[in-house]
Chain A
């Protein structure tokens, strides 16, 4: 089976205007969302308490609200259904430092008359740990991007590195925008998903860049845009295929992975789509925009080969004692 014709070259760089508009619109929209609606930090980063309760029948949410109201501890509690009607999440912005009797125990006692239930999960994160996790989280994103930047600059060229980082920022921004849009709780797992997007989107970009690099060296053609078009076309099957297989597994994770894995799977789902798009329509046009000069690069390469040949000759002369 083949998705794309081998012989045909698609003109991707001819679509720069449309793709740039689309990307800019999405990124802008994401930032507007982030600035107005903002991110919903979960307990991991904001600190607080989450109690997950499962009833043997449908959860009596109104009754729960009433019962919890009696205890001032649950003053600002939000009570929402979680995945199925018999499961409920109680969220508090506050945390308690007590080890012996904590908010989970208080919930159990307060809800005693609400029916037959089981407390399945209690997460309590104190403010100090929350701040530490936040710092570490930001640090990890920055370090990952920096590490990747250095590696790509070392393996390719600085323009490639910058282009791939712009694509990464594009992807993460849109993913964050989507997270903000549907009001997902941002916890450690979402951060892990964002870092995975970084790695994944970069994978795609690097495969395309590798082809472009190869094209620049091999091709007699000096028009960068046609080299890029050809390279993207050659890797199009791979890009689509890998995106599809990854999409399959992430989608099954999203559908069947359970409620707890949902935020993680959702973030990845967005990331896979955006990451695939960006490697074609963001990273490569930026490379083009940087004015990477193929002629100059050829000249540089020729110069390099010449220098090396010269060096080699000198060495040979030196070794044979004629110098």
Chain B
């Protein structure tokens, strides 16, 4: 018998072709083509939300202004006294008041966002609120930039580093094999890598072990401990000669004992400051300070030009390599801290995939068998819609490069259970009309018409819940909302339009067979 084509069946066929073609790359894991990516909970990986202690960035900004003042005064032979800083700004005395305008000009140049107050000999510099906010925002963007640079050099595929909300940083790393590797990555990105070259206070250093922090700060000094031996202390000038912001390169090298060291190079400005200082300080010591610890404090025997230096410490080649990466990609202006972390090992991810696949296939087979037993061929038609629904979900997710998470898998499993709902409603309506003695044509058409309203209302309310879940859900939960939503929308095409098309095509044949048990699983 000739079967009539109708527009519904054509659209349905197209939808199936679309589903099969675009889901193929994901199912077969082909080389090319757009694929669904697995979420970190399925493939294993690290997800972190980091915060930035922006207050610290403001502090170090002020500290560097103090450094600049000191350097400027030394360079121009202006006598400055009582140079001090706190969380609001910097203050100092200029002994020759005629020189004050020079300072004013210099300071407004280097820190435009500040208020300068001159009171006799005293100059007070305070940061404006706007400048403070800018410094904080800069610290966040700089942290993102720095973390990204470091991770790019770490050698993992496609690390994600992005700003989330106003002040959080999202870091996602896939493909980490062991927890040790993960820790290495975390240490790399969290390392401040703040290099400072500081002058040892030779006049008082001998007494350092008897000094308190307050004593030291009274002299404008700080007490720092040695990186190799925490008992060994150094008294150094609080305001550094220069810091890592003037660093242009850092590479792993080896010293004469073949131990790994890091050789760094300063930019022109840094080299000049470094040269000036060393020329002036022959016979004194220079402390190489990294993250608040003194790595070495060699004696200065002559002026050092060229801007090259070395950091030696007791580290392995791997540690030295990570440190060099951190130094090269710049220091973090402000320390970062952990707000949230989700870390899944690759074996757990693989277990989760397997478990949810078993559930998906098990649930799927149960539903399909049940529908066939209960509804006969009508059940088979519903099953065709169900299978194509699954393909379409995968195809749409592949096209958008969506991420499949464990809750997303659960969403697909659940969709299987709920997508047959439409067909159950329709089949029940058709059965009812057959009982009422309507013709096959009328039973099918009215069955669809009667069922339509309820199906639409039911689907839309589920969609409302799914959309809310998407907007307010986080991370993996969003995946659940996505698969549910796609599943519902796809079922409109497969379960409603598609099966209707199949019935219209087969209508004559059903009528002729007069076998309601075979077609709809009922007597008569």
**Residues in chain A within 8 A of chain B (CB atoms):** 1-2, 6, 52, 54, 95-102, 104-105, 108, 118-126, 128-129, 133, 136-137, 139-140, 143-144, 147-148, 151-152, 155, 188-189, 191-192, 195-196, 198-200, 202-203, 206-207, 210-211, 214, 234-235, 237-238, 241-242, 244-253, 255-258, 260-261, 264-265, 268
Query: Residue among B187, B454, B522 with the most chain A CB within 10 A?
Result: B454
Smallest beta-carbon distance B476→chain A, Å:
8
Q: Is the CB–CB distance between A120 and B352 below 8 Å?
A: no
Contacting pair B187 A101 (CB below 8 A): yes
Residues of B within 8 A of A196 (CB): 414, 465, 484
Least CB distance, B254 to chain A, in whole angstroms: 26
Residues of B within 8 A of A100 (CB): 183, 186-187, 190-191
The listed residue (A118, A123, A237, A264) touching B410 by CB distance below 8 A is A264
Cβ-defined contact, A192 with B338, below 8 A: no
Instruction: Please give, as numbers and ranges, the residues of chain A lying within 8 Å of B342 by CB-CB distance.
Output: 122-123
Do the beta carbons of A245 and B417 come within 8 Å of each other?
yes
Interchain CB contact under 8 A, A242 and B418: yes
The answer to whether B468 touches A140, judged by C-beta atoms less than 8 angstroms apart, is yes
Contact B344 A97 (CB under 8 A): no
Question: With contacts A155-B457, A242-B420 known, is A125 near B340, CB below 8 A?
Answer: yes
Contact B468 A195 (CB under 8 A): yes
Of B243-251, B294-302, B306-314, B360-368, the one contacting chain A is: B360-368
Contact across chains for B454 and A206 when beta carbons are under 8 A apart: yes
Quick check: B343 and A126 within 8 Å, CB to CB? no
Q: Is B421 an interface residue, CB under 8 A from the partner?
A: yes
The 10 closest A-B pairs by CB, nearest first: A249-B363, A258-B355, A99-B190, A140-B472, A246-B417, A199-B465, A199-B462, A210-B454, A249-B417, A97-B337
Chain B's closest residue to A213 (CB) is B453
In the complex with contacts A105-B183, A151-B464, A136-B469 CB distance below 8 A = no
Chain A residues near B406 (CB-CB < 8 A): 260-261
User: Which of the residues B186, B366, B466 comes within 8 Å of A199, measured between beta carbons?
Assistant: B466
Given contacts A248-B370, A260-B352, contact A189 B347 (CB under 8 A): no
Total chain B interface residues with beta-carbon distance under 8 A: 80
Q: Give 7 A-B contacts (CB < 8 Å), ordered by A residue.
A: A1-B373, A98-B337, A102-B341, A119-B179, A124-B340, A241-B428, A246-B414
Q: Given A102-B338, A105-B179, A248-B366, verify A123-B472 contact (CB < 8 Å).
A: no
- Any A CB within 8 A of the CB of B521: yes
Q: Given A99-B48, A246-B417, 16 other A-B contacts at CB below 8 A?
A: A101-B183, A101-B187, A108-B179, A124-B340, A136-B472, A192-B477, A195-B468, A203-B418, A206-B458, A238-B425, A245-B367, A245-B420, A249-B366, A252-B359, A253-B359, A253-B413
Q: Which residues of B contact A248 (CB under 8 A)?
A: 363, 366-367, 370, 417
In the bound assembly, the distance between CA atoms of A119 and B346 in angstroms comes to 10
Chain B residues positioned under 8 Å from A120 (CB to CB): 344-345, 347-348
A2 to B516, CA, bound (A): 13
B421 touches A242 (CB 8 A): yes
Chain B residues within 8 Å of A261, by CB: 352, 355-356, 359, 406, 410
What residues of chain A lie closer than 8 Å to B367, measured between beta carbons?
245, 248-249
Residues of B within 8 Å of A101, CB to CB, are: 183, 186-187
Q: How far is the CA of A263 from the CA of B461 in the complex (A)?
A: 24
Tell me if B424 counts as interface (CB < 8 A to partner A): yes
Residue of A whose beta carbon sits closest to that of B356: A257
Residue among B49, B472, B480 making CB contact with A137, cutoff 8 Å: B472
| Cβ distance B431 to chain A, nearest Cβ, rounded Å | 8
Query: Which A-chain residue is minimally distant from B342 (CB atoms)?
Result: A123
Are the CB atoms of A195 and B343 closer together than 8 Å?
no
With a cutoff of 8 Å between Cβ atoms, the chain A residues found around residue B413 in the complex are 249-250, 252-253, 257
* A96 to B, closest residue via Cβ: B338
Nearest A residue to B454 by beta-carbon distance? A210
Instruction: Give the contacting residue for A136; candidates B183, B465, B474, B481; CB below 8 A.
Output: B474
- Find the A residue at minimum CB distance from B46: A122
Q: Is the pair A152, B461 in contact by a Cβ cutoff of 8 Å?
A: yes
Nearest B residue to A125, CB-CB: B340
B414-A249 in contact (CB<8A) = yes
Least Cβ distance of B284 to chain A in Å? 34
Closest B residue to A152 by beta carbon equals B461
- A-facing mask of B500-524, CB < 8 A → 1, else 0? 0000000000000000000001100
Interchain CB contact under 8 A, A104 and B343: yes
**Residues of the A chain whose Cβ atoms lie less than 8 Å from the Cβ of B435:** 6
Structural contact, A188 and B417, CB atoms closer than 8 A: no
State which of B179, B189, B465 has its C-beta within 8 Å of the C-beta of A144.
B465
Q: Which residues of A contact B305 (CB under 8 A)?
A: none
Known: A100-B183, A253-B410. A124 touches B522 (CB 8 A): no
Which residue on chain B has the smallest CB distance to residue A198? B465
Q: Does B374 contact A (CB under 8 A)?
A: yes
Contact of A256 among B362, B425, B481 (CB under 8 A): B362
A195 touches B469 (CB 8 A): yes
Q: How far is the CA of A2 from the CA of B428 in the complex (A)?
A: 10
- CB proximity of A21 to chain B, nearest CB, Å: 29
Given contacts A203-B462, A248-B367, contact A143 B428 (CB under 8 A): no
Q: Which of chain A's residues has its CB closest to B376's CB?
A: A1
Contact in complex: B338, A249 (CB < 8 Å): no
- Asked whether any CB of chain A lies closer than 8 Å to the CB of B407, the reply is yes
CA distance A246 to B424 in the complex (A): 12
B224 within 8 A of A: no
Residues of B close to A238: CB separation below 8 A:
421, 424-425, 428
Q: In the complex, which of the residues A192, A199, A251 contacts B407, with contact meaning CB atoms closer than 8 Å?
A: A192
Chain A residues whose C-beta falls within 8 Å of the C-beta of B189 in the assembled complex: 99
Taken together as a complex, chains A and B put the C-alpha atoms of A6 and B432 apart, in Å, by 8
Q: What A residues does B343 contact at CB under 8 A?
A: 104, 121-123
For residue B473, CB closer than 8 A to chain A, the reply is yes
Is B50 on the interface with A (CB-CB < 8 A)? yes
> From residue B480, how far is it (CB to closest CB) to chain A in Å?
5
